[in-house]
Chains A and B, each alone.
Chain A
Amino acid sequence: MHMQTEQIRLRHMKTRLLLNQISKFIFMLSAFFGLFFLAVLLVRVVTEGIGSINFGFLTGKLSTQPERAGIMGAILGTFWLMLVVAPVTMFVGVGTAIYLEMYAKKGKLVSFIQTNISNLAGVPSIVYGILGLTVFVRTLNLGNIVLAGGLTMSLLILPIVIVASQEAIRAIPFHLSEASYGVGATKWQTIQRIILPAALPGILTGAILSLSRAIGETAPLVVIGIPALLIPFPGSIMDRFTVLPMQIYYWTLDASLVSEYANLAAATIIVLLVTLFILNATAIIVRNKFQRVF
């Protein structure tokens, strides 16, 4: 009897250990699957593009001759776009989050708004482009300038900023608000002095990450109509502009005609990736530096 169970256990032990090894292997494979293609992409982009990156390329104007073309216009355009998107989304996004978390009475209306915000986060970006085209470019008659593009991009990432800010605010334990109300602070004082400082790391992390989404987004700008022509460097938010991903898009289209454009596109991708990397690193630093225990 004892011998029998011993044998069963031994045999079973073998399969158990084997299964253990196999499952580890499967999970490792799935982890490396994504990593592998990312590496392939990076290697391809870098080998294709690194040769084109030099001072002239980074600071020069667009040109019809590939060897003289530069992306300063697109860099400036991206910069001006951020200058619209960052303040608009911070103000409206954090404001909405504060209203929903701190002021609005929980009820049908709030859950309706909440559901819509979550749904908006899933709307394809091209739809925002159509909205921006109709509202900002045509109805408000702004034309295809930085302000119109920036407001469109702001709408696009607003749901993400709102949800991230709401989560950051909700994470502040109620006993801190209670302590503040307890000494006679008003709601606004409590928000300003306790809630926002404590929620700021979370809010900033969300805002920076969604900003990097706005930097990389192309579809809405295609709809708004960003000129592929040679335009002067944008000097304010009222100027026409192009951005890095648009430039990648146009050069990739043209690569079938002139093969050097493929190198320019790859070089621009490197610049864009470095920008995104810096933004994401900032988000991580902000989160780690201000992380608090309650």
Chain B
Amino acid sequence: MTVLKERIKENSFSVVRNENWTKPIYETNGLNLWYGTSHALKNIELSINEREVTAIIGPSGCGKSTFLKTLNRMVETAADVTISGNVTFKGNNILGKSMPVEILRSKVGMVFQKPNPFPKSIFENVAYGPKVHGIRNKAMLEMIVEESLKKAALWDEVKDRLHKSAYSLSGGQQQRLCIARCLAIDPEVILMDEPTSALDPVSTHKIEELIRSIKNDVTIAIVTHNMQQAARISDRTAFFLNGEIIEHNQTSTIFNNPADPLTDDYVNGRFG
């Protein structure tokens, strides 16, 4: 626990520095979501600051994934949902018809809990996004693939077998490949839904390092069940419970000095 607190202190330093210039890239107002008649998100008011890592924590089934998938409107793809309220991305309402989901998703990438590379080569996996957006030039694609794999800290491991199947990689490598695939569209935000929960500690560490190294360029919202992880990598933390936000604040405050006793109980492992 003391190690954890020290890490938080290190981290809070960067929070203070960030405080001066970050502004919200996402804002939600009175966001409600229903799966059929089941009320999954209740009056969510949350802003996600540009170039920060926002951690979303809370027990299973409290609506973390639902919230994350609302931010790129993936939630509507998988199920019949009713949404009310406002979600703005850089000031534009994303819930109306005015912004096609394809445009939104070309600026907001997503990494899923289970690594989900395509049944294609490593190269084709990373090139998929740019190709979908109309980039055909081979040299340009090669450049994007190399750059994205480097950012995802995977280049050295795969540069000699770019045309091998993505399934020949280990689970941890596959997840970094998925992050590279996401980075290849040059997103402004990356949504990560428990990206390390299916991985071993070493792979988890690599992905945390990777998040640290890209956070100056992209905004990250990450759902995690791992309290230490939230403390290590995030600037702000939102605590969800039963579809509501109980508390949202700087990570150091959430972990060291939470306002709500429920938050205190949760981050100290007394339920969840």
With both beta carbons as reference points, the residue of chain A lying nearest to B73 in the complex is identified as: A181
In the assembled complex, how far is the CB of residue A175 from the closest CB belonging to chain B, in whole angstroms?
Answer: 4
Among A175, A179, A197, A294, the residue within 8 A (CB) of B181 is A179
In the assembled complex, how far is the CB of residue B114 from the closest CB belonging to chain A, in whole angstroms?
Answer: 6
Known: A175-B114, A175-B116. A183 touches B167 (CB 8 A): no
Among B103, B105, B114, B133, the residue within 8 A (CB) of A182 is B105
Known: A174-B78, A175-B114, A182-B182. A292 touches B128 (CB 8 A): no
**In the assembly, what is the distance between CA of A182 and CA of B185, in Å?**
10
Among B104, B112, B185, the residue within 8 A (CB) of A178 is B112
CB distance A193 to B178 under 8 Å? no
CB distance A185 to B118 under 8 Å? no
Report the interface size class on chain B.
20 to 34
Interface hub of A176, A182, A186 (most chain B Cβ within 10 A): A182
CB distance B105 to A181 under 8 Å? yes
CB distance B118 to A176 under 8 Å? yes
Of residues 149 to 205 in B, which have CB atoms within 8 Å of A's CB atoms?
167, 178, 181-182, 184-185
Binding site for A on B (CB under 8 A): 72, 74, 77-78, 101-106, 109-110, 112, 114, 116-119, 128-129, 132-133, 167, 178, 181-182, 184-185
Given pairs A183-B129, A186-B102, 15 additional interface contacts (CB within 8 A): A175-B114, A176-B116, A178-B74, A179-B112, A181-B105, A182-B105, A182-B110, A182-B182, A183-B185, A184-B105, A184-B185, A185-B132, A189-B132, A193-B128, A293-B119
Q: List 30 A-B contacts (CB under 8 A).
A: A173-B116, A174-B78, A176-B116, A176-B119, A178-B74, A179-B112, A179-B178, A179-B181, A180-B132, A181-B74, A182-B72, A182-B74, A182-B105, A182-B109, A182-B112, A182-B182, A183-B109, A183-B129, A183-B132, A183-B181, A183-B182, A183-B184, A184-B105, A184-B129, A184-B185, A185-B102, A185-B128, A185-B129, A197-B119, A198-B119
Binding site for B on A (CB under 8 A): 173-186, 189, 193-194, 197-198, 292-294
Q: Which 6 A-B pairs have the closest CB atoms?
A: A184-B106, A183-B129, A184-B105, A182-B110, A175-B116, A185-B132
